[in-house]
Structure 1
């Protein structure tokens, strides 16, 4: 089975990031241990944010087997993420 990771690049001061949180929490419940969810604070993880060229938050990146599968900037709907996560798991 493929290794699928959803990285949530956020900042504590970011209002839209707070709107994204409950959507991601719901997805964590649905996918359980099939998807690894990681939160990355861009203010304290500058090197990782730079590696992924993060210019705005929230930015979500789905990685499959270590490669970027899908990338989103701004608040992203749960059904869009769910669909793409399911595709990444195939």
Structure 2
């Protein structure tokens, strides 16, 4: 996982990582928001989801203590991160801020 993850977040295109769990209510609320953002921004951003129950080492590596938790990477560097459910506008602004 680590090698593939590193490869994904090292791209020049911003990569929004959604740390989530299937049992998490706020995470489920964010799913349609992320789908809308992906549809509107198209190839300007790549959104990947990481299930914290199945990928605990990755979540621990980035200090994810609560979910949902979002980290925006560009060129392998963390450009923005925030925990908790949030509005489509807030997420879109963060993504557009690193392009």
Report the TM range for the smaller structure's normalisation. Answer: over 0.9
1:18 aligns with 2:38: no
For residues 80 and 13 of structure 1, the distance between their equivalents in structure 2, rounded to whole angstroms, comes to 24
Equivalent residue for 1:80, pick from 83, 86, 90: 90
Moved over 2 A (4+): none
Following TM superposition, by how much is the alpha carbon of 1:2 offset from its aligned partner in structure 2, in angstroms? 3.2
Equivalent residue for 2:62, pick from 45, 52, 57: 52
1:65 aligns with 2:50: no
For residues 50 and 67 of structure 2, the distance between their equivalents in structure 1, rounded to whole angstroms, comes to 10
Equivalent residue for 2:40, pick from 8, 30, 34: 30
- Aligned residues, how many? 89
Equivalent residue for 1:2, pick from 8, 12, 30: 12
RMSD: 1.3
